[in-house]
Amino acid sequence: MDKIFGIYGDALALRSQRLNMLASNIANAATPHFKARDLDFDKAIASIADGAAQNDSVKSHTGYRVPLQAAMDGNTVELSTEQTLFAENAVQYRTTLSFLDGRLGTLRRAMKGE
């Protein structure tokens, strides 16, 4: 499996986990003391490529967001930031998906002998 899909399978899983984190940030936009978190995708995927397990990689590359302007109630969610990153991450998920889809198409054509 890994040889067929390369790093794209891991990339899709990481994108999906980052989507969860960003969704959690948006969900907690009004919760006092909530600290927004994010996954450093580039570093996480690099460590997976070096052979790290996905869970360890996610854990060690998840950090807290530094807000531009802290709210009085200790909440560090800034909706504009979170929404932009959420949209960006969704597009990147789609891109990875289309790479995977292309790989599947290639395989199918190879099996049919076209």
Partner 1 sequence: MTNPINIFDVSGRAMAAQLTRLNTTASNMANARSVARTENEAFRALKPVFRTHVESSDFATVDVERIVQSDTQPKKRHDPNNPMADPDGFVWEAGVDEATEMIEMIEAARQYQNNVQVLQTAKSLILETIRMGK
- Interface with partner 1 by CB under 8 A: which residues? 12, 16-17, 19-21, 23-34, 37, 39, 55, 58-59, 62, 79, 83, 86-87, 90, 93-94, 97, 100-101, 104-105, 108
Residue identified by tokens 């794209």 is 8
Pick 43 or 94: Cβ nearer partner 1: 94
Shortest approach of partner 1 to residue 21 CB, angstroms? 5
Contact assessment for residue 99 and residue 8, using Cβ atoms and an 8 Å cutoff: yes
- Minimum CB–partner distance for residue 39 and partner 1 (Å): 8
**Nearest distance from C-beta of residue 92 to partner 1, angstroms:** 11
Beta-carbon contacts of 79 under 8 Å, excluding residues fewer than 6 positions away, are 26, 29
Taking the C-alpha atoms of residue 13 and residue 18, their distance in angstroms, rounded to an integer, is 9
